[in-house]
Chains A and B, each alone.
Chain A
Amino acid sequence: MSTEPALMSLVAVAKAIASKEVSSREVTRACLHRIAEWQPRLNAFMAIEAEAALAAADAADAALAKGNARGPLHGVPLAHKDMYYDAGKVVTCGSLIRRDFVATTTSTALQRLKDAGTIRLGSLQMVEFAYGPTGHNAHYGAVRNPWNVDHITGGSSSGSGSAVAARLTFAALGSDTGGSIRMPAHFCGVTGLKTTVGRVSRAGAMPLSQSLDTVGPLAQSAEDCALLLGLMAGADPEDPTASALPVPDYMAATKGSMKGLRIGVPTAFYVDDLDGEVARVLDETMATLKKEGAEIVKVELPDQRQLTSACQLVLATEAAAFHKRWMIERPQDYGAQVLMRLQNGLAIPAVSYLEAMRWRGPALAAYLAAVAGTDAVLVPVGPVPAPTIAESDVGNSPNAEAVIQRLTRFTRPVNYLGLPSLAIPCGFTRSGLPVGMQLIGRSFDEAMLLRIGAAFQRATDYHQRVPKAA
């Protein structure tokens, strides 16, 4: 059978269903066909709910025939990281501890997508409790990169990155506390949006760090991310930390050009210790941005290593506090690496944690002053393309934390400052692995990032390339 509908973008397939060019059933069947083909190699899905998805697709088609479209994503099948509570469904959080946990509520982000008409394909794999950047999972196995199944996807939204890249779902929710959306976007060649802390409600999303957790999408394009963010963002009575700031028209923002925009490029830290191919792609990306009318300007940022360290102090402490009860009662049910990282948080004095929290305001102010006069800052997501599964399987070895810190050194400053960042595919290595870049914006200015990202994607085709089944 043809799987062509599964290759469409989210925006395109939503329009095609709405105009009855294609039915929700045809689209859902195409996705399920690709899932059946790819899942044995990728391990991207935690659960596949084929019959329920087809029944929901039929119901969506019947409703549309009667003129009852639910919303802008009517009949679009999606799957999400298995940490978003969906009432009545098992939500494993990638863990053994929650293997049989049935949610009694539905997360606000997920509910808003359901209200827009989406239907559920199943759930996606993830790193245990979203605590790790590689995509390894001691209980459910590593998720594999569709561009080369010997390589990691990145994490912790490992299934989201893998499934979107292989076109098994049109988009997927991820979460980003230390780089968990941007890392899989970079390694898997998809577009990922880490939102400003507070932009999207976290109600019903598994917590890792209350100060740093963010909800965001992975999708084919900036335009797809804009559509999803517009549906999910905004105040939520279930989450008092969700901002009541107005939600801009993100789709309108994607129509803008780059002409006259100033994009900052740091002179230090983000250019240190870069793999040669990542450096080449960074140079090519800057050339494309210039060609499209943007001005590239050098920026000198405050010491980013201090931000990375502060991020680690906050994340480790808050994660340990969330998990303390299970660390006492069920330590044997954690994977070795995740338990090891949770234990780290036990040894951070309260005063050190609070100092790291108190410094957030001045650190953000200093960053914003350094980038004044620019519309966004361009940096790599990671220093290297996707490593192999074998070389990154460090478990709880003595050097594990060092390996993890090296992978995430370019993503953590953004988490500490709570800023938005859009990861976009910008090129490929000679061996065919994707390379992504991140555009970092001001607080609550996702619209600017989506504008630049969409303009870049109109000028390039990296986001449209699809890995081939072996």
Chain B
Amino acid sequence: MTKPSPKEVKAMTDVAGVPATPEIAERIANSIGPAFEGFAPVAGTLPFDLEPASFLLVQTAKVSI
């Protein structure tokens, strides 16, 4: 996963219905960039059958994934 560029951020905010100016889009890209970089080792590696609700099962110690 790569962090979105300011141009991509601008497009996403337009689609979301809350358009950002180019300046705000650049600021957003810089702000959230580190989160994308930090999550990059996980992104795109999760197994097909992994259900989001597995969290609840692990929380109550019913499964070990």
Contacts and interface: CB of A to CB of B under 8 A. Distances in A.
Interface of A: 196-198, 245, 303, 305-306, 308-310, 312-313, 316, 320, 324, 327-328, 340-341, 343-344, 346-349, 352, 354-362, 364-365, 368-369, 396, 398, 400-402, 405, 418, 443-444
B39 A313 contact: yes
A122 B50 CA distance: 46
B17 A324 contact: yes
Given A343-B13, A343-B20, A346-B28, A354 B58 contact: no
A contacts with B: majority SS: helix
A344 B42 contact: no
B24 A245 contact: no
Most A Cβ at <10 Å: residue of B16, B18, B58, B59: B59
Contact of B46 (A306, A347, A359, A368): A359
Nearest to A343: B28
Ranked 6 nearest A-B pairs via Cβ: A309-B38, A361-B54, A401-B31, A360-B55, A312-B35, A309-B39
Contacts of A443: 58-61
28 contacts: A196-B59, A306-B41, A309-B34, A309-B39, A312-B35, A312-B38, A313-B36, A316-B35, A327-B18, A328-B17, A328-B18, A343-B13, A343-B20, A344-B31, A346-B20, A347-B25, A349-B4, A352-B1, A355-B39, A358-B51, A361-B51, A361-B65, A362-B50, A365-B65, A369-B64, A401-B30, A405-B34, A443-B60
Chain B contact-residue range equals 35 or more
Contacts of B54: 358, 360-362
Contacts, number: 131
B12 to A, nearest CB: 5
Contacts of A308: 38
A360 B52 contact: yes
Given A324-B17, A347-B4, A309 B58 contact: no
Nearest to B50: A358
A349 B12 CA distance: 8
A352 B28 contact: no
Contacts of B57: 361
B55 to A, nearest CB: 4
A64 B1 CA distance: 63
Contacts of A309: 34-39
